[in-house]
Chains A and B, each alone.
Chain A
């Protein structure tokens, strides 16, 4: 299992940009392929286009047949309407706060534990690591009930802490860091030890600076998971001001659906998905690499 994960890491970091050995042909040789792939791509983006298009319509235009893809007239008013009807800015900040807290915490605890499992010797190491591995296949739903009971007893329901504290650690992240640190050459560590470096300095000043790719990848995925999480906030957050974007959207829908005000609803959805879409366009390679990393072929 360990070996294959290292392979996955290597594959992802050496994935070649396509076209290195490309021998001419170009656009025309693949014309049919491009037509098919474009058709597929259009199917993939239609929902997004429909969402954006609706968000710029007047309510009356929604009921026009056949539907217009480019709204005429083209109006902006749905955006301020959505933004003021519900506390979107607040929800956005809530999601951001939880996401950043969880991501930074997880990178810290997982990298330190991963380093310890990979690079230090201590009694019980293998048994403990097996325990971490064993919990990776347990569905989240098994643990969420006792966590709810616990948080309820502590009076922490309807605060951010039930979404943050349990998520500061992940077995998967610990596992990834361990595998990554295992691949680093022993000489790195030996030289530092001879110079009298403590283990903590070896971790923080030698191993961590070399872990930027995996920090970025795990960071992107942890943040995205937290940002898009639904069941957790649905269970733990109740008051309007405490909501995160996904469950805020549900509240927003409840406010506008009765009126079938699809344009305002779509404007709200656009506002909520825009940050992730921008992040994706900028950091596509980290998303893709993250997927390849989950390709632990067991």
Chain B
């Protein structure tokens, strides 16, 4: 009886300490994550400009959003940006990682160079690229002129602004996927290749029938991460184009920023944030349910 008592006293003591240890974390987490997630949803049901009293609208903000031509435009631009980034970035990253995985010398050095843009701030590299994209004296058009092409005014042309932003973003982020791919490639068991060699498989067979299926979870993971990241693109767009010209590069988060922090339409901005949240949620669900289709060994 006495032992039972002391056991449960110890249990309660342990629980007490556990809550004390969690307290700082839990307090900040509740205040700056849990509460804001709920508050944001409440804001999205109101018309509120920070300086005026709140006016309850119900779902009117959401109804307004799906009829707002600017929102539809920035939504389309976000899809364009995502579709422009993902295939090229993923394919390039895989190619580079395959090259780096051939047990070559200077691998760490190469990897460092490919990774360099990832650690640099988006603002800094965007200013550099703005200078590179400069139409008369920028290095890109100067190099094009050598081969006799007169390059466009990249960031100020409606047709070229988005591809320019996409190209820079791929350059900035590809190293991240390279490192992920490299870790996956290094974990493919050597014995798989050896037995394939015995069966007379060539390099292409090995890549297509061994490497690609085995690293498919990584491919899946990279695409999920890149889609989530692309839907939240903002920094480079703010610095390079401010969403212009004529909103041709304005994306969801840029419109959210304008509404919330330039025009102080807090309710409308919160509704945009929730639509973004919902989109990412749906995308994640779709990707997970489709996962078994093309991730090897998960049928």
Seen from chain A, the residues whose Cβ lies within 8 Å of a Cβ on chain B are 11-12, 15-16, 18-19, 21-22, 26-27, 30, 33-34, 36-37, 40-41, 43-48, 50-51, 54, 62-63, 65-67, 109-110, 112-113, 115-116, 120-123, 125, 128, 131-132, 135, 137-150, 152, 165-166, 168-169, 171, 174, 198-200, 203, 224, 227-228, 230-231, 234-235, 245-247, 249-250, 253, 262, 265-266, 269, 272-273, 276-277, 279-281, 284, 287-288, 291-292, 294-295, 297-298
Known: A11-B183, A115-B21, A146-B43. A37 touches B32 (CB 8 A): no
Given A63-B137, A67-B137, A122-B19, does the pair A171, B29 have CB atoms closer than 8 Å? yes
Q: What is the distance, in angstroms, from B180's C-beta to the closest C-beta of chain A?
A: 6
For the complex of A and B, the 9 pairs showing the least CB-CB separation, nearest first, are A122-B15, A143-B36, A166-B32, A146-B36, A146-B39, A113-B25, A122-B18, A228-B121, A169-B28
CB–CB B29/A48 < 8 A: no
- Report which of B21, B36, B112, B186 forms a contact with A142, defined as CB distance below 8 A: B36
Q: Judge if B14 is at the interface, Cβ distance under 8 Å.
A: yes
A199 to B118, CA, bound (A): 39
- Considering the chains assembled together, what is the distance between the CA atoms of A51 and B235 in angstroms? 19
Q: Are B32 and A165 in contact (CB under 8 A)?
A: yes
**A266→B277 contact, CB < 8 A:** no
Q: Contacts A16-B186, A145-B266, A148-B261 given: A199-B14 contact, CB under 8 Å?
A: yes
User: Which B residues between 117 and 154 are near A, CB-CB below 8 angstroms?
Assistant: 117-125, 127-129, 131-132, 134, 136-137, 139, 142, 145-146
Q: Cβ of B4 < 8 Å from any Cβ of A?
A: no
Given contacts A12-B183, A113-B21, A297-B221, contact A137 B33 (CB under 8 A): no
- Which of the 9-residue segments B60-68, B94-102, B200-208 touches chain A? B94-102
Complex formed: what's the CA distance from A228 to B280 in Å? 24
CA distance A130 to B217 in the complex (A): 24
The residue of chain B having its C-beta at the shortest distance from the C-beta of A109 within the complex is: B25
- Write the residues of chain B forming the contact surface with A, with a CB cutoff of 8 angstroms: 11, 14-15, 17-19, 21-22, 24-26, 28-29, 31-37, 39-40, 43, 50, 96, 99-108, 110-125, 127-129, 131-132, 134, 136-137, 139, 142, 145-146, 171, 175-176, 179-180, 183-184, 186-187, 217-218, 221, 225, 228, 231-232, 234-235, 238-239, 253, 256-257, 260-261, 266, 269-270, 273-274, 276-277, 280-281, 284
Q: Could you tell me the distance between the alpha carbons of A63 and B141 in the complex, rounded to whole angstroms?
A: 13
Separation of A198 and B17 alpha carbons in the complex (Å)? 10
Per the bound structure, the CA–CA distance linking A25 and B110 in Å amounts to 19
Q: Judging by beta carbons under 8 Å apart, are B217 and A297 in contact?
A: yes
CB distance A291 to B238 under 8 Å?
Answer: no
Q: Which residue of B14, B117, B139, B269 contacts A44 across the interface (Cβ within 8 Å)? A: B117
* Contact in complex: B142, A65 (CB < 8 Å): yes
Which of B112, B118, B187 is in CB contact (< 8 Å) with A281? B112
Q: Determine how close the nearest CB of chain B comes to the CB of A176; give it in whole angstroms.
A: 13
Q: In the complex, are the beta carbons of A266 and B131 less than 8 A apart? A: yes
**Known interface pairs A165-B32, A253-B127; A121-B18 also in contact (CB < 8 Å):** yes
Least CB distance, B190 to chain A, in whole angstroms: 8
Asked whether A199 lies within 8 Å of B17 as measured between CB atoms, the reply is yes
- How close is A151's CB to chain B, nearest CB, in angstroms? 10
Are A44 and B266 closer than 8 Å at their CB atoms? Answer: no
Most chain-B Cβ atoms within 10 A of its Cβ — which of A22, A51, A54?
A51
Contact yes or no, B43 A245, CB < 8 A? no
Q: From A168, which residue of chain B is reached at the shortest CB distance?
A: B28
Is A149 within 8 A of B50, CB to CB?
yes
Give CA–CA (A145, B274) in the complex, Å: 11
Q: Which of A141, A266, A276 contacts B253 (CB 8 A)?
A: A141
| A230 and B238 contacting across the interface, CB-CB below 8 Å | yes
Query: A272 contacts which chain B residues (CB < 8 A)?
Result: 121, 124
- Say how far B236's CB is from chain A's closest CB, in angstroms: 9
A-B contact pairs, 15 of them (CB 8 A): A30-B104, A48-B116, A66-B146, A112-B21, A121-B14, A144-B260, A148-B261, A168-B24, A227-B121, A246-B122, A246-B123, A276-B119, A280-B115, A284-B108, A287-B115
Residues of B within 8 A of A33 (CB): 99, 102, 104
> Could you tell me the distance in whole angstroms from the C-beta of A89 to the nearest C-beta in chain B?
17
Closest Cβ of chain A to B172, distance in Å, is 9
Bound CA span A246–B102, Å:
38
Is B127 within 8 A of A292, CB to CB? Answer: no
Asked whether A146 and B180 contact (CB < 8 A) given A67-B137, A109-B25, A122-B15, the answer is no
Chain A residue at smallest Cβ distance from B179: A291
Give Cα distance in the complex from A23 to B4, angstroms: 65
Residues on A with beta carbons closer than 8 Å to the beta carbon of B127: 249, 253, 265, 269
